Structure formats: structure tokens, C-alpha cells
Amino acid sequence: MPLEIKVPSVGESITEVMIVKWLKSEGDRVETDDPVAEIETDKATLEIPSPGAGTIAEIKKKENEWADVGEVVATLEEGAGGSASKKESSKSADKGAKSEEPKEKPTQPDESPKQEASADSAQEEKVMPAAKRLLAEKNLTANEVQGTGKGGRILKEDVIRHSNTPSDSQSTPPGEEGAEGSPAGRQEEVVPMSPLRRTVAQRLVDAQSSAALLTTFNEADMSEVIALRKEYGEAFQKKHEVKLGFMSFFVKASIEALKKFPAVNAQIRDKDIVYHNYYDVGIAVSSTKGLVVPVLRNAEAMSLAEIELRIKDFGERGKANKIELKELEGGTFTISNGGVFGSLLSTPIVNPPQSGVLGLHSINDRPVAIDGQVAIRPMMYLALTYDHRIVDGREAVTFLRTIKELIEDPARILLEI
């Protein structure tokens, strides 16, 4: 009886995944725990291991299709020789054929049907079980389908592709219009929404429909932080092996502001308000799948260097899709830096069930009034989006002004005043 390859459990709240890529094809030999497919959830990309050794008999789900946790996505014939054994047997057949060459006799006309039958049977050996059933359903022969599997094997996908390929008489000549009068060059591409994108879309809609979101703005003069980075940046990097960035200053400033205004670090749970006495700060980073928000656990206990090292690590692993699920869960407050992409001003959306998100933007030299004089300073717009159900406007405005004051006088961050 074939072994079933099922979608493994990947988290308590995850019920379905997307089949991103098959690492093995029908007819391929696999060993126990060999990865056979890549699956994607809304938080990470994982692999499905083979439950045993054998040959992939049938793939039931195509790439970019959805599958439920526990669903059978492929079957495995235990102990089957697979690709390697078939290659060996074909080699043996070739050797046997060569050894009989001296006994070869002239071909007679009445032998041609036998040769055709032999060719047909050889072609049948290259047809995978799932493809064979589909050939019978569509009244096709193996000779009509081009195999793309290893050694020319005909896969189920090959039969489907052959069946969906229009004949020459059905094709539209270049330049002619389609049935509805549109030019042939006007095409559409339908791409399945990735689990991450689908979840992000749903959470954004949920946030705006279930929370009373409001955004307040301010701006910060970055002169002092820039001066600190110029003066101590080289020594900092030499000692800690990481650059002194802006984000660590904003994480520290946010924590000090959150201590003064705990409602921004709280959340609504049913009919209660839950205040947190710890500060798990989510940092939005880009990945190949989209935006993810790994969390700095107990960020209040971290130094500037520790924060920078963790953020660097998040960025590198985000690009390689190596951030773990547990690193994305939780969080009491979020910081999103759109300035790295050149954003001048934005209204970030709260990550439920959090009550606040700080948006950072690009630093630009702008004329500002200082002591009655116009001066050019490196300025950054700051944005705080908050849930008005739990955070009052006065608290939100004062919270953001506190961050501004700490950034403009960063010595206060170290002194915690």
C-alpha cells in the first residue's frame, strides 16, 4: 500500500498552506526525511519531509495550489527502485541487445508490427501511474504526449498540458483580434495570492474595521543623532562588529515613551484592557515574500549594540526566508521604517491586537526656524497611528513629542530622563 505524504502541522493557528515548489517529481527516488516539497504559510517557508524510502508515485497538488494541514499531497511507493533502478535496468537491456548483435538477421516486412508494439511498450514504461490513468480518461496514447520527467518520463502534468494546448486551427494569428475585439497582445496573468500577502491583506482590513485608528504627526531634528554616529560610529563598529544605525535610537526612545504612556503598549482583550510590563518591539523588515515583523523580546534590557545586531540578523534572515514562526508572534508595539525606501510621509496601520505603531521616514535637509533664524537641518517626519479606543489623543500626541525630544537630545536616552 502506498505511503501518503501529508501536509504537516506548522502552527496552532495555521490550517492551510500553499504548495510553493515540488523538489521531487513523479518517479523520483527519495529516502526517509528527504525534503519533497516547499510549503509556505503566512509567516514562513517550510519543507515537507518524505515519510519513508521509495518512489514518488503520484503528486496530487500542483505548485501554487492550497492544501489543508493533514491533507495528502502525494503518494509514495515504498521500496520502489525509482529513477536509479530504471536506469540500471535500461543499461542492462542495452548490454544484452549489444551481445545479441551478431545473431541479427534481415528484417522482414511482417516484423514491423512487432517492432511498433515493442516501441509502444517501451514508451508505456515511461508513463507514471497518475499520467496513465489520465491518458485513458482522455483517450490519448503515450506516443502523443511529450514527457518532461527524468529520462523522458510522462507525468500527469504533461498530459494536462497536452490536453490544454490549442491546435493550430484554434490559435489566433499574431496581430488579429480575439473574440471580443481586443488585440491579441492584451493579456492577463492570474497569480495566486501568497499566504503572507493574503494574511497581511486580511489583517489590514480587520485592523481598520475593528479598531478606531487615528494618526498624529510630528518631526524630529536628526542633527544630534547624526553627530553621535559620526563621532562614535567607527569605534562602535570596531567593537561590536555592527554599524550604529538610527533604529536602535528609536527603539530606546520608544521604550522610554511607552513607560510614560502604558496605554500605547497595551491591548484590548474582550472587554478588558491588558497592560504589559515588558516591551516586545516589532521591527518591520523586508523579505522576498513581503513585509514581516519579527519581535525584539524584552527590548528594554538590550543595549544599542544588541538591538543593532538583532535587527541586522532579522534583515539577513528575512531575505533568505529563515525567520522562524515564533520570532514573528506577539509584540506589544511596532516600528516601521519607510524611510529606507524614500518615503517622506505615511500613515502606518496598527498590527492587531497592538494599540500603536511608529512610522519613520526619510531624512531630508529642510529649512527650519531656530531662535528666530532660518537654518537648514536634517529633518524626519514621525507618524504614530494608534487605537483611539484605548489611547486618548492627548496621550498619543505627548507620546510622539516625547520621542521627538529624546531623539533631538539622545543623551536623555542613556540617562533615562
Q: Is residue 382 part of a domain?
A: yes
Cα separation, 161 vs 152, in Å, equals: 15
Residues 65, 199, single domain; the answer is no
What would the pLDDT profile of 203-218 be if each residue is shown by its tens digit?
778 777 888 999 999 9
| Burial state string for 194-231 with b = 16 or more CB within 10 A and e = fewer than 16 | bbbeebbeeeeeebeeebebebbebbbbbeebeeebee
Domain that holds residue 68: 3-78
Picking from 78, 108, 135, the residue at the C-terminal end of a domain is 78
Give the count of domains, the chain. 2
Cα separation, 312 vs 121, in Å, equals: 59
Residues 210, 356, single domain; the answer is yes
Residues 63, 202, single domain; the answer is no
Q: Is residue 254 part of a domain?
A: yes
Q: Is residue 334 part of a domain?
A: yes
What would the pLDDT profile of 321-331 be if each residue is shown by its tens digit?
788 878 888 89
* Dihedral angle, C-alpha 154, 156, 158, 162, nearest 10 °: 120
Picking from 44, 78, 112, the residue at the C-terminal end of a domain is 78
Identify whether the C-beta of residue 366 lies closer than 8 Å to the C-beta of residue 381: no
| Crossing angle for the helix pair 393-408 and 223-240, to the nearest 10 degrees | 70
Q: Is residue 317 part of a domain?
A: yes
Residues 73, 200, single domain; the answer is no
Q: Is residue 210 part of a domain?
A: yes
- Intervals of the chain under pLDDT 70: 12-13, 43, 80-125, 150-151, 165-185, 416-417
Map grid coordinates 519513508 to a residue: 52
The structure's pTM equals 0.64
Q: Which residues participate in catalysis according to the annotation?
A: 388, 392
CATH number for the domain harbouring residue 317 = 3.30.559.10
Which pLDDT does position 85 carry in this prediction? 40
| Burial state string for 250-274 with b = 16 or more CB within 10 A and e = fewer than 16 | bbbbbbbbbeebebbbbbbeeeeee
Residues 227, 370, single domain; the answer is yes
Picking from 61, 78, 95, the residue at the C-terminal end of a domain is 78
Which pLDDT does position 163 carry in this prediction? 75
CATH number for the domain harbouring residue 35 = 2.40.50.100
Residues 73, 218, single domain; the answer is no
Q: Is residue 21 part of a domain?
A: yes
Q: Is residue 15 part of a domain?
A: yes
Cα separation, 385 vs 73, in Å, equals: 43
Residues 260, 401, single domain; the answer is yes
